[in-house]
Chains A and B, each alone.
Chain A
Amino acid sequence: MRMTLHIWRQKNAASGGRFEVYDAPDVTPDMSFLEMLDVVNWRLIEKGEEPIAFDSDCREGICGSCSMMINGVAHGPMKGTATCQLHMRHFKDGDTVFIEPWRSAAFPIVRDLVVDRSSFDRIIAAGGYISASTGTAPEANSILVPKPESDLAMDAAACIGCGACVAACPNGSAALFTSAKIAHLALLPQGQPERTDRVLNMVEAMDKEGFGNCTMHRECEAVCPKEISTRFISKMNHEYLRAAIVKRKENKGGGGAG
């Protein structure tokens, strides 16, 4: 197959960017999308030109490194599929493909298709954990978790942190990412003691990073390579409301104790 690629090139965060056109004359159906780009890069290097920068690592759809808009859709046309797992058999000979980086104020561009997603790490650092220091744990089977809750927690925990949700959202919201972690931990008995503070702190961190608010367009769910459900955003909103009430009660109660 022969394809024409319009790829976003940008030297660094400070400089401007533009689309450049590349010819990909020898695409085969069994190639992955990233392998197709590898071959384009080999040709550029052979000509002494700088290859297109893009993040990728595991190439098995689990590390969450790869991150590109393909014809305006985060991770491209296949549902539940990260770019690295997208294969060229889903394209046709003669296709024109536009490839861009994630675009969000909270994900500054590093180069070409590479963005800085450290804002996600800071959201997790604000409370996306259970504070169980090494050595404190009781015998594993002393904590029973009903299978339905455990399975649902796993559905949420499957998030790979790629940022497609943000890139797809018209508001640039990180609600799906943040809610997946909040829901995973709030569904488990181990997560209960920190439940209230966790949601308040993580939502605050999310807002501070400059992500937009969720208005339930559900574009995130449509592109998520792990098909994380927007039910978890509802769960996050529920948790947030609950936490706000609990906090208010605590503050009232606390005031009288002195």
Chain B
Amino acid sequence: MELNSKLPTGPIEDSWEKRRFELKLVNPANKRKHNIIMVGSGLAGASAAASLGELGYNVDCFCFQDSPRRAHSIAAQGGINAAKNYRNDGDSVFRLFYDTVKGGDFRAREANVYRLAQVSLNIIDQCVAQGVPFAREYSGYLDNRSFGGAQVSRTFYARGQTGQQLLLGAYQALERQVHQGKVRMYPRREMLDLVIVDGRARGIVARNLVSGRIESYAADSVVLATGGYGNVFYLSTNAKNSNATAIWRAYKRGAAFANPCFTQIHPTCIPVTGHYQSKLTLMSESLRNDGRIWVPKKKGDRRAPNEIPENERDFYLERRYPSFGNLVPRDVASRAAKQVCDEGFGVGETGLGVYLDFADAIQRLGEDTIREKYGNLFEMYERITGENPYKVPMRIFPAIHYTMGGLWVDYNLMSTIEGLFVLGEANFSDHGANRLGASALMQGLADGYFIVPYTLGDYIATAKPDKVGTDHPEFARVEDEVKSRIGKLLGIKGSRTVDSIHQELGKLLWDQCGMVRTASGLKSALERIGEIREEFWRNANVVGTNEEFNQALERAGRVADFLELAELMCIDALQREESCGCHLRDEYQMPDGEARRNDAEFAYVAAWEYKGPDQYPVLHKEPLSFQYVPLTQRSYK
């Protein structure tokens, strides 16, 4: 396997424009002769399917939900960044680029990030034209707010439902193409494998989740926009059904998996209450604009928060990071919360929580202003916890939220498999070791609206894929593999629920491959994962049959893949003997507890190649160089 990142040369400001000119075009009349498979219908998938349909390609779009509108992008709350500089506060494309490279702790490609910052401008224009109801000022102009990791106000938002509104914009554009016959939508279909013919991605095998039928689909190119793998931890802020199966199957067919250990922990989630907990709920980090984070100065202080006087509260982020205060990046805020809880200062029943307090902001701005800004988040918090955050401080704790790692892609978003493109959270590309708030929506839409429509055309024009249909023997072979795997799952007939095994895996990963990692912990986790996997294949109970709507079977297939992916995450975390961004190795810290990066040895993308079952994967390194953002230790003090 060779990693050819196809990075542009020359000045970074012109590199994307230069690349767009170099990319080969498909004649408008010829586009309709080409079929494209799009797996996933979130921001990246829906925007790409719609845009490719508008260009004239025939797109088959698959999602496991009952409607493309339900993809998990819908749940993003806070906002989307763009370097519009509408606030005249010193923002620019270069500053967004700079903030993103630095926020990612220098583990992303400069050229990709620069392009992302440039394209951010077009995204806002596009979404406004579609009728996305962004927040506005009384003048009628677009409003902005600030977000963690940045000192400018560049975040566009639609109340606390920005992801919903952006996704509905993309979904509506997608449905328009469905109406015009350019996109065919296949809901309740789950991709279970990738089909490769002569070294190129030529189709997928999917399960019809209603009938159980195993179906083959062929195309000239396959695009995966299937989101992240945060649910490997069982508890995360991801939707219940978000999974890694599509990217994991592609990995096992030859797509390199990059930086799997880069998993982001979001600092402001609602704490866990019991063993039945099915998921964690995030509270938008925009709350950190007005909320102040604190714990009691006294260990194990059981007084109600309002009874603790100001001078007995430790506003630990403001104390440790005076210039960024409560707005430090996510990884910094999360680790600080874990640290104070580990030291015994945590609050709530479990001691795993810190306060996020709005009393000062309510006093300063009035309850109405706070309600206007965060009303729906406050309501959601109250619905879940039964506590009124206008009166009592919220309790928050970090939770797995986003995965920066994903399938390796080149600058054109193509994986190491020819003709297989990967978009959005499913790829590894732009966020390095840590993603800044309000950048996921930006990246998903950048990939879908403005990058893949060009680069995929270039692949088709250059590779000139000949016609391959589902009658090709490779489809039958892969279908057989898929069926035999399903048969194996249904045949275990053990005594444990799949969820209980998944919970066990999740707890192990959270402890050993979560916020703080050590070599010994990772090694023990690797041993343990093997045992849990063995337990799964020996003792899980997957009830029902294949030929029916069977959610137990769906879940079992996803968990089987998580049990393999977990191993790769720990292997990756073990080889990265440094701390960077989300990845804190206990052995590599500054004297003050901040992450110690090792640029001399680890300024690379770790791309893993699958070598077969029970074989150690092979590590390929893509070196990263930084010409525009000087390598510096991040400091938010």
For residue B129, CB closer than 8 A to chain A, the reply is: yes
How many residues belonging to B are interface residues under a CB distance threshold of 8 Å?
84
- With A and B bound together, what is the CA distance between A110 and B549 in angstroms? 8
Chain B residues with CB under 8 Å of A146's CB are 136, 138, 140
Given A57-B240, A62-B161, A118-B66, the answer on whether A48 and B128 have CB atoms closer than 8 Å is no
Of residues 99 through 147 on chain A, the ones whose CB sits less than 8 Å from some CB of chain B are 110-111, 114, 116-118, 120-121, 124-141, 143-147
Give the segment of B88-96, B169-177, B306-314, B616-624 that binds chain A. Answer: B169-177
Residue of B66, B279, B383 most packed against chain A (CB within 10 A) = B66
For residue B54, CB closer than 8 A to chain A, the reply is: yes
Cβ–Cβ contact B128 & A143, under 8 A: yes
Count of chain A to chain B residue pairs whose CB atoms are closer than 8 Å in the complex: 224
Given A60-B75, A60-B380, the answer on whether A11 and B548 have CB atoms closer than 8 Å is yes
For residue A35, CB closer than 8 A to chain B, the reply is: yes
Q: Residue on A with the closest CB to B128?
A: A140
Given A45-B541, A63-B74, A161-B69, the answer on whether A35 and B187 have CB atoms closer than 8 Å is no
- With A and B bound together, what is the CA distance between A137 and B82 in angstroms? 15
Q: Residue on A with the closest CB to B185?
A: A121
Q: Residue on B with the closest CB to A143?
A: B128
Cβ–Cβ contact B383 & A38, under 8 A: no
- With A and B bound together, what is the CA distance between A231 and B373 in angstroms? 24
- With A and B bound together, what is the CA distance between A111 and B453 in angstroms? 38
Q: How far is the CB of A22 from chain B (nearest CB, A)?
A: 16
Of residues 144 through 167 on chain B, the ones whose CB sits less than 8 Å from some CB of chain A are 158-159, 161, 163-165
Cβ–Cβ contact A63 & B129, under 8 A: no
Cβ–Cβ contact B380 & A85, under 8 A: yes
- With A and B bound together, what is the CA distance between A56 and B56 in angstroms? 34
B54, B75, B137, B543: the one contacting A63 at CB < 8 Å is B75
A35, A65, A133, A188: the one contacting B70 at CB < 8 Å is A65
- With A and B bound together, what is the CA distance between A185 and B173 in angstroms? 13
Chain B residues with CB under 8 Å of A48's CB are 493, 541, 543
For residue A157, CB closer than 8 A to chain B, the reply is: yes
For residue B303, CB closer than 8 A to chain A, the reply is: no
Cβ–Cβ contact A38 & B276, under 8 A: yes
Chain B residues with CB under 8 Å of A81's CB are 383
Q: Residue on A with the closest CB to B171?
A: A124
- With A and B bound together, what is the CA distance between A50 and B541 in angstroms? 11
A110, A157, A190: the one contacting B168 at CB < 8 Å is A157
Chain A residues with CB under 8 Å of B548's CB are 11-12, 111
Chain A residues with CB under 8 Å of B50's CB are 134
Cβ–Cβ contact B74 & A58, under 8 A: yes
Cβ–Cβ contact B142 & A140, under 8 A: yes
Cβ–Cβ contact A57 & B133, under 8 A: no
Of residues 26 through 79 on chain A, the ones whose CB sits less than 8 Å from some CB of chain B are 28-32, 34-36, 38-39, 42, 44-46, 48-51, 53, 55-65, 78
B139, B383, B549: the one contacting A85 at CB < 8 Å is B383
12 residue pairs from A and B, CB less than 8 Å apart: A42-B497, A48-B543, A57-B72, A63-B75, A78-B383, A130-B172, A132-B126, A133-B54, A135-B122, A140-B142, A158-B159, A190-B129
Instruction: Sort A-B residue pairs by CB-CB distance and give the 8 closest, nearest first.
Output: A144-B140, A129-B172, A137-B129, A132-B129, A137-B125, A154-B133, A125-B175, A57-B239
Chain B positions within 8 Å of A, measured between CB atoms, are 47, 50-51, 54, 65-70, 72, 74-75, 84, 86, 122, 124-131, 133-142, 158-159, 161, 163-165, 168, 171-173, 175-176, 178-179, 185, 187, 210, 239-241, 273-274, 276-279, 281-282, 379-380, 383-384, 386, 449-450, 453, 493, 495-500, 541, 543-544, 548-549, 551-552
